[in-house]
Amino acid sequence: MSEHKAEVLKVEAIGDGHLAVRVRCCKDPSSDSVLTVMELHRSDEEIDADVAAHLARAEKLHAARDHAQRHLERLTKS
């Protein structure tokens, strides 16, 4: 299985006290997801932990989708 790497694409204010962090895995636009960061009064480390967890989730989901797609595509090779 290939290595999956997610990165932050954009951060934007979406409301008072809410920031949206858009991430993408493997430069694949179909993997885009958004984390809404609230409670902005928290420490940098706590906010970084939220973003790191979301990046890891995006990588895991993208890897799982790739695996499931390869698995299901075998059905067409009879």
**Do 25 and 62 contact (CB within 8 A), yes or no?**
yes
8-60 tens-digit pLDDT: 999 999 999 999 999 999 999 999 999 999 999 999 999 999 999 999 999 99
Does 1 reside within a domain? Answer: no
Q: Residues near 35 by Cβ (< 8 Å), separated by ≥ 6?
A: 20, 21, 23, 50, 51, 54
Q: How far is CA 10 from CA 1, 33, 34, 46, 58, in A?
A: 28, 11, 9, 19, 15
At residue 77, does pLDDT exceed 80?
no
How many domains is the chain built from?
Answer: 1
Does 42 reside within a domain? Answer: yes
Can you give the residue range of the structural domain that contains 44? 6-76
